Amino acid sequence: DGSSLRWESSHENFPHITVITDLDGTLLPPPHKKDGVLLHPKLSDGDAHEHLTQLVKNGGAVVGVTGGKLGLQQERFWDELPLNARIEGRVLLFCETGMVLYRSDQDGNPVEDESYGPFPGNTKRFLSKQVVDEIVKAIQCAIKQWFTDLKADPSLLDEKHWLHAKCDQWSVEDAPVTNDPDMTPRIELRGPSEHQVVGVMIAGIPIQYGDKYLASNFKPFSDEISGQPTGRLCYDCVVPGLSKHLVLKYLLRTGALARGSAIALADSPHGNDVGLTEYHTDGMPFVSVCDKIKKVPKHLLDCHVGGNEVGSGAFLQQLVDNWQKAGGFHRTEANQDPLSLNTVQDLCEAAAKKVEEHEKLEATKA
């Protein structure tokens, strides 16, 4: 039932364009330490804010999809977008890999839509407590082994990487189960309560070492969970079938999206963002801002920009500029596909050049 959506599914009333986007590593700059304090930059601290705000102010819509809980994402993402757009329902936020949906109340604050569920029949699925306990123990062993190996061989990471300072403690202690974003390493239980867990998030092992330290630990639970990398140091383990593609299916099913007027934007097409790539050649192009092109599947290279949040800013700038020149991406009877794959490919090519220029400039500064 899509009756609670604020925009209708007629051609005239669709937002001119909808951007379905990952958050961390895509729109949001990465966490970093300053004076010993771990900081979590907001949308306005990165390159994408200006252009995304401009798009939304001109009638566009944005749908955030993240593996995390609402928590910091309200301050870092939701509150950063124009109030009127939130109140009008042109900002949605799916958390916990699409298990939970937040809409705006009359004051612009995020409120969970309790009628929503990602699976058929708007249902949710949860892990048993026994499985959760066993998974946590296995992850703690993996994290402890990672920090033991890093301590023995510091060359595994850049010498300035802040994880080196964690080795003495976490090579002997079990990583905590906590939702505190300032704690790394940590294990987060995803779900509405400790008795309704939909997944487990692991922070503290760089994704290039995930296969070595985590994949083998997941094998005994292959029928219970599915693990994928998310961000630079994190992994999601979720109930089978839970994926960001369920968000797209829900939005299409309820009439909140029109193919030809939407794009997906993310940095991990090989990992937990793979669900957002499903309609790449079917009316919803996927724009990759993955920082390593070798991790981008071949069929998505035509819309690869790179550069993480810098690439997102570059692409959104191209999108807004193109939109303004065209007088808006309007659906008409004569043009059912105003934001075609060919159009997005051209925008990505221009954005990728901007990223390349940025990287060269940064290299000269270094």
Q: What is the pLDDT of residues 118-148, one digit of tens each?
A: 777 667 778 888 889 999 999 999 999 999 9
Q: What is the pLDDT of residues 45-101, one digit of tens each?
A: 999 999 999 999 888 899 999 987 888 899 999 999 999 999 999 999 999 888 889
Question: Given this model, what pLDDT does residue 156 score?
Answer: 94
pLDDT > 70: percent of the chain: 90
| pLDDT tier at 105, thresholds 50, 70, 90 | very high
DSSP state of 84: H
Question: Given this model, what pLDDT does residue 337 score?
Answer: 55
- pTM equals 0.80
Helix, strand and coil percent figures for the chain, each rounded to 5: 40, 20, 40
Please determine, for residue 2, whether its predicted confidence score (pLDDT) is greater than 90: no
Residues 143, 214: Cα–Cα separation, whole Å: 8
Question: Given this model, what pLDDT does residue 231 score?
Answer: 64
| pLDDT tier at 242, thresholds 50, 70, 90 | confident
Question: Given this model, what pLDDT does residue 217 score?
Answer: 76
pLDDT, average across residues 266-279: 92
| pLDDT tier at 114, thresholds 50, 70, 90 | confident
As given in the structure block, the two tokens for residue 279 are 């309609």
Question: Given this model, what pLDDT does residue 15 score?
Answer: 55
Please determine, for residue 9, whether its predicted confidence score (pLDDT) is greater than 50: no
Residues 104, 92: Cα–Cα separation, whole Å: 8
